[in-house]
Structure 1
């Protein structure tokens, strides 16, 4: 990966985009994706059933996905109770085969381990098949972050108060899985990343929704242009 600037420690995270580290406690991620076109409005009532209140795929159960890569197998556990729309979206894409033959297009290991990013829209065959079959358009999902003290996740806004950040249920720790997005908060779509080390600077800004439960040694081996042969939903 390209160099980190000496003072700002800029690390690339997407095509023509960078992570910028200004202070140890502050980080901004910009992913070069198309901006959000819209997402379903979600009520704020803590007692509503999220999955019956959105048109997006939604799952409140724990789900498991096996990523078969050219370097070996990686098994993921996804937490639907904490991130039902994010998990529902990911499983829907898996079952549509949209992660099959996709590359890891960002791997940041220097000057220290950071992350690998997968789910590149442009498949190895140079075809972009990621369209929602219901709308014929790219699907975007809202930023989804659950606090321990709330029954439902918070949607469409970053969590920046220090007291709330400490209360986030799923944090950016080594082996955890999170959604990449552009500067627009509701622009997550297909691409995801796996943390190679803990990065609390990202907490409250991106949607963590699962973790690697086996194959983290394979994750550590992944380099840019390595690829997912097949992603499939599996039993626990």
Structure 2
């Protein structure tokens, strides 16, 4: 993990979708590696032009997911999206971040295992409430790269299994209107970039 960016403190990211801003407070106090990865990718322009490839509102509101860099290419079919991650230009390898979830009452996150696997009974400090921003991953705990999702509702069954790293503070109405295929026009770090340590 020493080679991964970390966020020491908080940062604010403004994402523009369908011409409207979404403001995200990114929390490096409880998820320094996950938050650092996201802020670093925003700062590198990785999310500019990327599509939301997974939108689940039925049978009840669930998630809006994006962040697959393959989606910048309009020729890549939607069905193939959800498999790509950030390829680090310095190593030409995909960058993965470990599963990182801090239990309430603890000073340190738990890494590389879900709360069930670690036999932790506590709630996570950062919960899947409506507006939570978290990392998407495959079955393997340490498989998150660049894909993230917005929680459209409180999703307590995901707590302790997926890493929340921030919350939408403005623009949930914009997220509620996102359709599959909509793109992130731009994402900018508007404050807290000095808290990013590479």
- TM-score interval w.r.t. the shorter chain? 0.7 to 0.9
Partner of 1:84: 32
2:44 to 85, 96, 103: 96
**Number of residue pairs the alignment of both structures matches:** 184
Partner of 1:141: 97
Partner of 1:68: 16
Structure 1 residues without counterparts, runs of 5 or longer: 1-39, 41-53
| 4+ residue runs over 4 A deviation | 126-129
SS of 2:134's equivalent in the other structure is strand
What CA deviation, in whole Å up to 9, does each residue of 1:132-186 have, x standing for no partner? Answer: 133111100000000122211110000028x845431011110000000001100
Shift of 1:61: 1.1
Partner of 2:128: 172
Partner of 2:184: 228
The yes-or-no answer on 1:160 pairing with 2:116 is yes
Cα 1:150–1:101 change in 2 (3 A) is same
What CA deviation, in whole Å up to 9, does each residue of 1:95-122 have, x standing for no partner? Answer: 1110000000000011111110011221
Query: Normalized against structure 2, the TM-score is what?
Result: 0.87
SS of 1:86's equivalent in the other structure is helix
Question: 2: CA distance between counterparts of 1:129 and 1:173?
Answer: 25
Partner of 2:63: 115
SS of 1:198's equivalent in the other structure is coil
Structure 2 residues without counterparts, runs of 5 or longer: 77-83, 193-198
Contact 1:76 1:211 in 2 (8 A): yes
What CA deviation, in whole Å up to 9, does each residue of 1:43-82 have, x standing for no partner? Answer: xxxxxxxxxxx11011121111000112521010011010
Partner of 1:196: 152
Aligned-residue CA RMSD in angstroms? 2.0
Shift of 1:214: 0.3
Contact 1:98 1:129 in 2 (8 A): no
The yes-or-no answer on 1:131 pairing with 2:79 is no
Contact 2:85 2:147 in 1 (8 A): no
Shift of 1:207: 0.2
SS of 2:64's equivalent in the other structure is strand
**Of the two, which has the highest radius of gyration?**
1
Cα 1:165–1:103 change in 2 (3 A) is farther
Contact 2:85 2:95 in 1 (8 A): no
